[in-house]
Amino acid sequence: MVMSKKVSVEELLKKAEKPSKLALAYHPFYEGKLQVMPKCAIRSAYDFAIWYTPGVAAPCKEIKKNKDLVFEHTNRWNYVAVVSDGTRVLGLGDIGAEAGLPVMEGKAILFKYLGGVDAFPIMLGTKDPDEIITALQWLEPTFGGVNLEDISKPKCFYILEKAREKLEIPVWHDDQQGTATIVYAGLINALKIVGKKLPEVEIAIVGVGAANTRTAIILEKAGANPKNMIMVDSKGILHSGRKDLEAEKDKNPWKWDFCLKTNSEGRTGGLPEALKGVDVVIAASKPGPGTIKKEWVAEMADDAIVFACANPIPEIWPWEAKEAGAKIIATGRSDFPNQINNSLGFPGIFRGVLDVKAKTVTDEMCIAAGNELAKFAEEKGIHEDYIVPTMQEWEVYPREAVACALKSIEDGVARVKLSRQELYDRAFAIIKNARESTKVLMREGLIKPPPPEEEILKKH
């Protein structure tokens, strides 16, 4: 159910502030969120002769003969580097590498709990894009994949593109591909509900940062007509007459390309002009409320679809969009229906590409993942307030993994080939193990319970 208008903005803000207050107490209580644990049997000190010297020399020699054997003799097949330079952290901007580390640790526990992936936070002491690419090349022998995170635009596009070319492991930028995957999944089902088709609808894309740049690319590859897209940045609608963007085309060729191939009507102006008569608005821009006004939504087509994804406050409150005539509304928040949440994507996608030891992860794999997410929700029974799965529906992650793994095999970038059933059984077992292991550690007191929320909130 869409949240009642009677809930005040003050109450919503207070609710949004609660995790921050708890985080300030819980982070130092645990002294971080990750640790390294053995996964092999240690029955006595003798076992170290197997896992370390002298026994370890035997697998080392085998790997020297064939480098791909590193995926069999070590955990490289399941290692992912969560890499950031701290230049665009969670809407906080350029806060530095050290300040970004708590975010990357958080990302790593999502990888483990939701996808069974052993992810490591790596903050880099450089902001130079070419140095970041070099660092990724240096790290490659240890990892089975790379998750780029919280890197400012436009260099994030360049880094992703070049790293994909240079590395023979999957490189993923979650701010781009993760968001795009979930938006695509939600849009597929939203269009089914209103009886419209992706190649035919007009889409306004509000905000042309990392998320919406890749969303536009993914939607086009999935069948949307770029001529029917109207993109809006902070200075207005993108069109071929935007001299400011033409002057910056060497630095940001992606944005200039949008000027040339979108907006076939040649619209100019700002948000009101962009939303007029369109079927869909996908916003990842300035937090609201009021970034998108109610009267602008009222000017959209019948059965309009509104994705207002800014956090912590969406560009327009869901109830306002509903009152203005929108049929389906999605946000980035967990306390409204239809949360567009990246955590639905990257754990399962990486599970899949790691399980086949893929050499890359492509936009087509994002589309395969989005299709599977949409299918899972459709089987559950989609409606106006349920267009994508929730994080609690963990069974979606093995299915998403299978979809990406099969696409990797189909595209010829998988180092190993497994059947659909083998892939599912493997992904299900690994993810279940990660979840159950955490529960066991908590039950046995090896992970201490946090201090009571009430005590912390009283102090603040």
Q: Which residues on neighbouring strands pair with residue 290, listed in sequence order?
A: none
In the structure encoding, which two tokens stand for residue 191, read together? 């269009």
d(CA 343, CA 178): 8
In the structure encoding, which two tokens stand for residue 381, read together? 């029974």
CA distances from 419 to 111, 352, 401, 410 (A): 24, 12, 13, 12
Q: What is the pLDDT of residue 2?
A: 45
End-to-end CA distance of the chain: 31
Where in 296-371 does DSSP place strands (E)? 304-308, 326-331
Which DSSP string corresponds to 212-250? HHHHHHHHHHHT--GGGEEEEETTEE--TT-HHHHHTTT
d(CA 346, CA 367): 13
Q: Which residues on neighbouring strands pair with residue 305, listed in sequence order?
A: 280, 328
Q: Which residues are designated catalytic?
A: 52, 107
CA distances from 110 to 208, 248, 350, 391 (A): 27, 37, 12, 10
CB-based contacts of 214-217 (< 8 A; 24+ apart in sequence): 214/173, 214/176, 214/177, 214/179, 214/180, 214/363, 215/179, 215/180, 215/183, 215/184, 215/282, 215/284, 216/258, 216/262, 217/180, 217/363
Nearest to 153 by CA among 254, 258, 15, 5: 254
Residue 415: what are its φ and ψ, rounded to 5°?
-80, -25
In the structure encoding, which two tokens stand for residue 225, read together? 């007509």
Q: What share of the chain is helix, strand, coil (3-state, %, to 5)?
A: 50, 10, 40
Q: What is the pLDDT of residue 459?
A: 78
SS3 state at 30: helix
d(CA 262, CA 377): 31
Query: pLDDT tens digits for the chain (460 residues)?
Result: 444 455 566 776 677 678 888 999 999 999 999 999 999 999 999 999 999 999 999 999 999 999 999 999 999 999 999 999 999 998 789 999 999 999 999 999 999 999 999 999 999 999 999 999 999 999 999 999 999 999 998 999 999 999 999 999 999 999 999 999 999 999 999 999 999 999 999 999 999 999 999 999 999 999 999 999 999 999 999 999 999 999 999 999 999 999 999 999 999 999 999 999 999 999 999 988 899 999 999 999 999 999 999 988 899 999 999 999 999 999 998 889 999 999 999 999 999 999 999 999 999 999 999 999 999 999 999 999 999 999 999 999 999 999 999 999 999 999 999 999 999 999 999 999 999 999 999 999 999 999 998 888 877 6
Place of tokens 């780029």: 148
Q: 383-434, pLDDT tens digit by residue?
A: 999 999 999 999 999 999 999 999 999 999 999 999 999 999 999 999 999 9
Place of tokens 């590395």: 167
Q: From the CB of residue 46, how many other CB atoms can be counted at a distance below 10 Å?
A: 8
Q: What is the pLDDT of residue 201?
A: 98
CA distances from 379 to 21, 112, 163, 372, 386 (A): 38, 26, 37, 10, 11
Place of tokens 């035919």: 200
Q: Is 203 exposed, middle or buried (0-12, 13-18, 19+ CB in 10 A)?
A: buried
Domains of the chain: 27-169 (3.40.50.10380), 175-427 (3.40.50.720)
Degrees to nearest 5, angle at CA 159 with 153 and 163: 160
Q: Is 6 exposed, middle or buried (0-12, 13-18, 19+ CB in 10 A)?
A: exposed
Place of tokens 């998403």: 400
Cβ atoms of 142 and 83 within 8 Å: the answer is no
Whole-model pTM?
Answer: 0.93
In the structure encoding, which two tokens stand for residue 198, read together? 């992706």
Q: What is the pLDDT of residue 454?
A: 84
CA distances from 12 to 7, 218, 323 (A): 7, 33, 19
Q: Which residues on neighbouring strands pair with residue 118, listed in sequence order?
A: 79
In the structure encoding, which two tokens stand for residue 363, read together? 């936009």
